[in-house]
């Protein structure tokens, strides 16, 4: 694939993620939108690194590390959503008026 094609796919992923994060009220759907935005960013960065440096393995390792960080972030985010649901019985953003208390 060419760099331009990969950047177009990354931009499409990022755009779909922005739409998904801003148009939904469910915590899970907002987090899915954020994950799509991060995936688009990682795809753009990894493809830029791989295709401009001649396939250096440092870029591949950076992508693997970033995907691991994303997995940990998603697990912590879902744990937070489950905690909020158990305490407040709220699964959409409008049901939560204030977070402290």
Nearest one of 29, 8, 5 to 18, comparing CA atoms = 29
Model pLDDT, residue 94: 65
Residue 92 per-residue DSSP state: B
The pLDDT of residue 46 is 87
The span from the CA of 33 to the CA of 60, in Å, is 24
Going residue by residue through the chain, which has 101 residues, state the pLDDT in tens, using 9 for 90 and above. Answer: 888 999 999 999 999 999 999 998 888 888 899 999 999 999 998 888 888 887 678 778 888 898 999 999 889 988 988 888 888 777 776 666 665 55
Q: Name which of 58, 16, 72 is nearest 39 in CA terms.
A: 16
Ordered by start, the domain boundaries in the chain are 3-95
pLDDT on residue 95 = 64
Domain 3-95: give its CATH code: 1.10.287.3510
pLDDT of res. 98:
62
Instruction: Collect all residues with Cβ–Cβ distance below 8 Å to 43 and sequence separation of at least 6.
Output: 6, 9, 10, 13
Would you state the pLDDT for residue 88?
76
């Amino acid at each position: 694939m060419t760099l331009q094609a990969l950047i177009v796919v990354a931009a499409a992923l990022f755009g779909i993620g922005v739409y998904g994060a801003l148009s939904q009220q469910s915590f899970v759907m907002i987090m899915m939108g954020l994950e799509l935005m991060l995936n688009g960013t990682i795809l753009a960065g990894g493809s830029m690194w791989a295709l401009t440096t001649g396939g250096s393995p440092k870029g591949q390792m950076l992508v693997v590390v970033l995907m691991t960080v994303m997995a940990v972030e998603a697990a912590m985010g879902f744990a937070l959503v489950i905690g909020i649901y158990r305490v407040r019985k709220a699964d959409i953003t409008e049901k939560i008026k204030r977070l402290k208390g």
